[in-house]
Amino acid sequence: MGSVTKLQVCNLSLSLIGAKNITLAELTTPVTEESKRIAATYTFIRDEVLMEHPWTFSQKRAALVDMTRTERDDWVTATVYTYNALVVQIAYDPTLAKYYKLLVTHTASALFATDLALNYWQLYTSWLTSTVYAKGAKVYNSGVEYSCLVQHTSGTFATDLTSVYWVATELITDMDDEITNIFYLPTDILRINKLSDEDAAYEIIGNRLYVDADALSIKYTYSNDDPTLYSPLFVMALATRLAAEICFNIAQSAVKSRDILEKYESIDLRRAMAADSSQGSPEELDMTEWEESKL
């Protein structure tokens, strides 16, 4: 670990090609061919190298947010309802719908108002402004159920939704499998390395994790864009991989590009991985399907 900057990583890669260095300003406003190639490829190559191995400096643990839609039914008279059941009133107009959760197991009377007056039901949480919401909380807004992704104090719902504080819940489609819940994956995730439930059956689709578990935590590799956290050998590996990617466009040499890539694969990457693995117990990777889904 040190005070390495993105500019130093980029110029190290250019030096491996024998190309001219770029300036700090060119990282944001590319002018030369070198800076344009760096700008076009750096982020993709950085994430590719981060995905090669569960680097100790690029790991996070997270309890995933369950975004499975809560089961709900229209309230019907003379029906036996059990504790915690969820029903909807005025279902014909979703924007006016009200959702209620059952407090007492009972048989519904002729009128919902009667059961409501007996305190059999309580209004299921509707979104409110100026309210502290915890990660994982569920609310209704305009007839749609949402799961809270980030603890926050609510402002306007539209603003909070744009800030990705909420995600609309989703139904489990019947696919004749064991899937029971849908979890939202973090936006900075590159690769899942471990599940809290090692025996869980799962499927990854987009940024959703479909699994047969009611609660789930993961350990994952994230898109770490802070070079000061990188190990020296990782910096070298990243610079070499970046050089191999941009070499042909700058040096017009397929041979040099191939040689640099071979150096990355056979020397620099292996040295970096070996050094990183010595920092703790080797990570057993559970989620090979994650890598397959990225191909």
Q: Is residue 150's pLDDT more than 60?
A: yes
Query: Radius of gyration (Cα) for the chain, nearest Å?
Result: 26
User: What tokens were used for 288?
Assistant: 């090979």
**Residue with structure tokens 């090979």?**
288
Q: Is residue 282's pLDDT more than 70?
A: no
- Residue 159 domain-assigned? no
- Residue 91 domain-assigned? no
Q: Residue 280: which H helix or E strand, with range?
A: none
178 or 289: which leads in pLDDT:
178
- Residue 166 domain-assigned? no
- The string of pLDDT tens digits covering residues 35-57 is 999 999 999 999 999 999 999 99
- Residue 267 domain-assigned? yes
Share of the chain above pLDDT 70, in %: 90
Q: Is residue 98's pLDDT more than 90?
A: no
Q: Is residue 219's pLDDT more than 60?
A: yes
Mean pLDDT of all residues in the chain? Answer: 89
pLDDT class of 158 with cuts at 50, 70, 90: very high
d(CA 101, CA 108): 13
Q: What is the pLDDT averaged over residues 197-219?
A: 91
pTM of the model: 0.79
Q: Is residue 288's pLDDT more than 80?
A: no
Residue 46, domain extent: 6-59+224-294
Q: Is residue 283's pLDDT more than 90?
A: no
pLDDT at 294: 43
- Residue 25 domain-assigned? yes
Q: What is the pLDDT averaged over residues 11-16?
A: 97
| CB distance 250 to 216 below 8 Å | no
Domain count, the chain: 1
Percent of the chain that is helix, strand, coil (3-state, to 5): 35, 25, 40
Q: What is the pLDDT averaged over residues 62-83?
A: 88
- Residue 29 domain-assigned? yes
Q: Is residue 17's pLDDT more than 70?
A: yes
First-to-last alpha carbon distance for the chain, in angstroms, is 31
Q: In Å, what is the CA distance from 204 to each residue of 131, 152, 176, 210, 244?
A: 33, 27, 17, 6, 31
pLDDT class of 84 with cuts at 50, 70, 90: confident
pLDDT class of 143 with cuts at 50, 70, 90: confident
pLDDT class of 277 with cuts at 50, 70, 90: very high
